Amino acid sequence: MSKRTAHVVVKGRRATLSDVDASQAHEIATKTTEENVYLFVPNFIGYARIVLAALALYYMPFHPRYCTLLYGASTLLDAADGYAARALKQASQFGAVLDMIVDRCTTSCLLCYLASAYPNYALVFQGLISLDFSSHYMHMVSTLTTGSRHHKEVKEDVSRILRWYYKKSVLFTMCAGNELFFVALYLLKWDKTPLYTLFPYAWTSSELFVENVPRFALRLTFAQALAAITFPISLGKNIVNIVQAWKASKVLVGVDLRERALAKTKAT
């Protein structure tokens, strides 16, 4: 099989990402029977996430409890597929892309609902969808263009913020907090029960509770409390998205300038 290289510029040379082109890869996927990447356990988890997210979207307009449980299960499985891929040695390019697509699509569908539920803020939600998609697409292209095997591989000299962000614990916290904030906004349309009513009556009727709990806290619902706690995380996540888009654009422009310089050198 003849080797063909991806068009990647790294320090003035071409870096090989794969020894097959698209036609050869398609033929291998069609004829190979020894392994089926589609049936890898991590990818099955991805398919399960799609089904759970679809069910959550079905219940979203009329059953908040089912919707929240299903959406939450789909989001939590996002951590399981990566663990399974490492434990079973079934990491794959297809799985990585599937994971990103499911993340982007489920969040975008929830934001679409929020745009209709809060029409005065529809432009904000539309902007968040656009930022999320554009940031991750640009980052994916820039990392592949410069020879990285995975979009989570970010060198510190490119961006210390992104290198920190793509640490497993940080990434999970930021993504979970972001999703919880959007879920909280969804629940705000339904949850009208004060949070204090969830505690035993003996506590909430005590003199200590009545005298020391601020009045606004007595009206606070679970959804409002969750939104207040997770808002800073969501804000930080979207700031990172802006940084990611900016850094990716600089990398792509750098590749363009390098290739133009090489072209001029060859021409002379």
What angle is formed at CA 209 by the lines to CA 203 and CA 213, rounded to 5 degrees?
135
Please state whether 191 falls in left (phi above 0), alpha (psi between -120 and 50) or beta. Answer: beta
**Rounded Cα distance, 149 and 58, in Å:** 36
Buried (b) or exposed (e) across 243-262, using 16+ Cβ within 10 A?
A: bbbebbeebeeebeeeeeee
State whether residue 9 is helix, strand or coil.
Answer: strand
Residue from 78, 81, 99, 103 carrying the catalytic annotation: 103
**Rounded Cα distance, 133 and 264, in Å:** 34
Question: Active-site residue 103, yes or no?
Answer: yes
Cβ-in-10-Å burial (0-12, 13-18, 19+) of 7 comes to exposed
Catalytic residues: 103
